[in-house]
């Protein structure tokens, strides 16, 4: 599970060449004073991040980081193809236009083209990275075909040209109720003719794994119809995406040679075997080895992992994150892991839904050294893995907070939106004093305690089977609620994680309600429903809590003389009780597999938007120029070679621009054809 970042100027909202080549470098600039900002276009702001601690690593450790980042980038195009079957064709054509167009590059239309290209780079395809809506060009089809294509000697099939401009495949992922979610989703996890019914029927008889140890069925394959029968095209060496995966394997084998310890090396060996065979049983063995390999300064996330992009919750998007331990913050935050059982024992859950033993919850603050696939350019800020419930229960999990990413967000913000949408000066003061630490602790509690908490009743299937298209948003909301409940607990002050748990909790509650009911709406168009799982969960948590709080005089909606709306919490302790009641119900829904209750909660509170509030929020937000979405270019790891051709050192440099990095990636990690 990952926790996504909602970025506003006022704060970090609640909460993320051949395989044998040693040298990958690109032109980069070195600045004495670090500038986190790269550029802004459309609704997107591109930032940079540092890699604290990299220079303190040994050469062997630097090599491990380098090989792991190269492995991640080698699979980058898999994510593009997963997102939509025509993405690689579109990208190839647009990049060729960008490089070779001989027309007027100063025209308004060409500027629109450049923005469109950058938006597609940022989203790893033609659908928006967050809303899942197809990105609409601001130039015409006539300009595209008669000028851009013609004057750059670029070819693109007419069918694909039509897709760019028409209303086909408008949603990458469609989880709305009342429609065929698979058929109406453009995601390339299923052939275009596959239906909801096909998926349900196929997985009734598909291999589920040993009793009590279910595999994540469908995680690494595309479901298609061949000769009238449904079959899985497995993503592995020799299978679908095989050429890219072979390059991933090549770099992983180099990484295994410089592993920090035996456990780390064994985990990498199992990951290599998984990529070679496609076996989900091997994936589970790898996940166990990875989750229990906790020594060393370097770690990684690599594979087909998060299932948010699958409307049925089976298939994992390709993702990699390479991490260096943040030694200072990890020591401070380890206290949550050490007290995980206390949090479970004291949670407001039905006793039958609590875990008797919370096993091996490992929490670290890390610094990212490189990302690819589903984690880049838009990144999570926290991750808890593995996702398989039985592995988490029996062998534990790893939770990480991406410290340098959070730091970069913090250093790129301002306070304008806070002052616009906060109800009063006290709310502003609390946010400015405790906002950042509240965000960090909420992320930690969400990942370490939230995702590790609770158990499913015996005989009840996995959430993707029982809660279906609501599974992801229910899980994220449940983890959010665990964090919210404990953010105002004296235990945090007792553990020396804050100097004032009450004011910390007040700042967190103000921010969550303000964001869930108002400020996150700047991300969607007027009249649209909320569809992205994390946004949906923030609204259903906030809206349900507001409904209860309004009845109990805990939260009030305030309309001031200037016509602006605010939300004012009048009793924070009672709001905590409301969060606790909702947490108990949410855990019951997961434990019992209550689909009807999940649907009622999500559809009743999380999807539909108060149109009057939405219109007001958009109007009030017009004064701010900072983009609502942020993402990152990756630092460049540049190798120096000795006379005998081996790596003698690795330095960190920063790319000059977003465009430079995207073109470099397309040139050097282009291992897939346009049709896969």
**Which regions of 548-598 does DSSP assign to beta strands (E)?**
555-559, 565-569
b vs e for 244-283, b when ≥16 Cβ sit within 10 Å of the residue's Cβ? bbbbbbbbbebbbebbbeebbbbbbbbbbebbbbbbbebb
My answer on whether 374 and 452 are in the same domain is yes
**Higher-scoring residue by pLDDT: 547, 364:** 547
- Domain finish residue from 146, 165, 184: 165
Alpha-carbon distance of 129 to 120, in angstroms, equals 9
Query: How many structural domains are present in the chain?
Result: 2
> What is the DSSP code string of 153-177?
T----HHHHHHHHSSTT-BS----T
Percent of the chain with pLDDT strictly greater than 70: 95
My answer on whether 247 and 365 are in the same domain is yes
Domain coverage including residue 96: 79-165
Beta bridge partners of 37: 47
Residue 322 C-beta-side C-alpha neighbours within 13 Å? 24
b vs e for 406-424, b when ≥16 Cβ sit within 10 Å of the residue's Cβ? bbbbeebbebbbbebbbbe
Q: Does 11 fall in a domain? A: yes
Which whole number is the average pLDDT over 485-504? 97
pLDDT tens figures, 240-275: 999 999 999 999 999 999 999 999 999 999 999 999
b vs e for 436-457, b when ≥16 Cβ sit within 10 Å of the residue's Cβ? bbbbbbbbbbbbbbbbbbbbbe
Encoded tokens for 487: 């953010």
My answer on whether 120 and 244 are in the same domain is no
My answer on whether 246 and 150 are in the same domain is no
Encoded tokens for 234: 């497995």
Give me the residue label for tokens 């909602």.
Answer: 6
In sequence order, what are the residues at sequence separation of 6 or more whose Cβ sits closer than 8 angstroms to the Cβ of residue 205? none
Smallest CA-to-CA distance from 59 within 654, 636, 646 is with 646
Smallest CA-to-CA distance from 257 within 246, 248, 269, 247 is with 269
Helix ranges (H only) for 593-674 are 595-602, 611-621, 658-668
Residue 21 has pLDDT above 80, yes or no: no
- The CATH number of the domain holding residue 607 is 3.30.540.30
- Domain finish residue from 124, 139, 165: 165
How far CA 303 is from CA of 70, 270, 375, 443, 559, in Å, comes to 14, 12, 11, 23, 49
Among 24-28, 51-55, 62-66, the range scoring the smallest mean pLDDT is 24-28
My answer on whether 518 and 601 are in the same domain is yes
pLDDT tens figures, 404-436: 998 888 777 667 889 999 999 999 999 999 998
Pairing between β-strand 361-373 and β-strand 2-3 as defined by DSSP bridges: unpaired
Among 210-214, 268-272, 327-331, the range scoring the smallest mean pLDDT is 327-331
- Domain finish residue from 165, 200, 216: 165
Q: Does 21 fall in a domain? A: no
My answer on whether 157 and 265 are in the same domain is no
């Amino acid at each position: 599970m990952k926790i996504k970042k909602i970025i506003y100027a006022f704060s970090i909202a609640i909460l993320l060449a051949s395989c044998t080549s040693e040298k990958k470098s690109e032109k980069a600039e070195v600045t004495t004073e670090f500038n986190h900002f790269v550029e802004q276009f459309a609704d997107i702001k591109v930032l940079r991040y540092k890699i604290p601690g990299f220079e303190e690593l040994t050469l062997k450790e630097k090599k491990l980081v380098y090989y792991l980042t190269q492995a991640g980038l080698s699979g980058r195009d898999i994510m593009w193809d997963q997102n939509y079957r025509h993405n690689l064709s579109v990208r190839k054509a647009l990049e060729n236009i960008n490089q070779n167009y001989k027309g007027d590059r100063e025209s308004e239309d060409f500027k629109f083209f450049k923005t469109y290209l950058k938006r597609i780079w940022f989203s790893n395809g033609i659908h928006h990275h967050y809303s899942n809506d197809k990105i609409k060009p601001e130039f015409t089809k006539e300009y595209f075909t008669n000028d851009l294509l013609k004057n750059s000697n670029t070819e693109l099939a007419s069918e694909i040209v039509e897709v760019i401009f028409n209303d086909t495949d408008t949603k990458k992922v469609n989880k709305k109720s009342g429609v065929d979610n698979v058929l109406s989703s453009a995601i390339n996890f299923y052939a275009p003719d596959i239906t909801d019914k096909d998926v349900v029927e196929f997985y009734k008889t598909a291999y589920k794994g040993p009793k009590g140890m279910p595999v994540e069925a469908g995680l690494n394959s595309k479901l298609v119809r061949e000769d009238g029968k449904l079959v899985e095209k497995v993503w592995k060496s020799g299978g679908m995406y095989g050429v890219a995966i072979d390059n991933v394997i090549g770099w992983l084998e180099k990484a295994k040679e410089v592993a920090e310890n035996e456990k780390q090396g064994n985990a990498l060996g199992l990951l290599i075997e998984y990529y070679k065979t496609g076996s989900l049983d091997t994936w589970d063995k790898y996940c166990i080895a990875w989750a229990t390999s906790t020594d060393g300064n370097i770690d990684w996330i690599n594979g087909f992992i998060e299932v948010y992009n699958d409307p049925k919750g089976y298939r994992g998007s390709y993702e990699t994150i390479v991490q260096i331990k943040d030694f200072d913050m990890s020591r401070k935050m380890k206290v949550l892991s050490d007290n995980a059982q206390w949090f479970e024992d004291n949670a407001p859950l039905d006793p039958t839904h609590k875990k008797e033993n919370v096993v091996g919850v490992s929490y670290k603050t890390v610094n990212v050294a490189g990302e690819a696939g589903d984690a880049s350019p838009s990144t999570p800020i926290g991750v808890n893995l593995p996702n398989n419930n039985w592995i988490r229960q029996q062998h534990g999990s790893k939770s990480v907070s991406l410290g340098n990413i959070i730091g970069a967000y913090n250093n790129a913000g301002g306070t304008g939106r806070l002052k616009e949408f906060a109800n009063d000066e006290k709310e502003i003061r609390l946010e400015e004093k405790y906002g950042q630490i509240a965000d960090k602790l909420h992320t930690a509690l969400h990942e370490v305690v939230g995702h590790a908490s609770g158990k499913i009743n015996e005989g009840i299937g996995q959430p993707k089977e029982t809660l279906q298209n609501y599974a992801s948003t229910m899980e994220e909301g449940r983890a959010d609620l665990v964090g919210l409940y404990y953010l105002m607990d004296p235990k945090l002050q007792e553990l020396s994680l804050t100097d004032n748990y009450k004011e910390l909790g007040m700042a967190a509650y103000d921010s969550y309600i303000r964001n869930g009911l108002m400020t996150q709406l700047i991300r969607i168009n007027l009249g649209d429903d909320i569809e992205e799982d994390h946004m949906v969960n923030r609204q259903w948590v906030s809206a349900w809590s507001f409904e209860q709080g309004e009845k109990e005089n805990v939260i009030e909606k305030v309309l001031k003389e200037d016509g602006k709306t605010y939300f004012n919490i009048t009793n924070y302790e009672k709001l905590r009780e409301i969060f606790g009641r909702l947490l108990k119900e949410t855990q019951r829904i997961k434990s019992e597999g209550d689909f009807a209750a999940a649907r009622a909660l999500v559809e009743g509170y999380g999807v539909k938007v108060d149109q009057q509030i939405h219109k007001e929020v958009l109007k009030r937000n017009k004064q701010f120029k900072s983009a609502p979405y942020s993402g990152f270019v990756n630092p460049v790891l540049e190798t120096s070679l000795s006379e005998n051709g081996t790596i003698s050192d690795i330095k960190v440099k920063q790319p000059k621009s977003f465009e430079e990095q995207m073109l470099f990636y397309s040139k050097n990690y282009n291992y897939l054809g346009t049709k896969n």
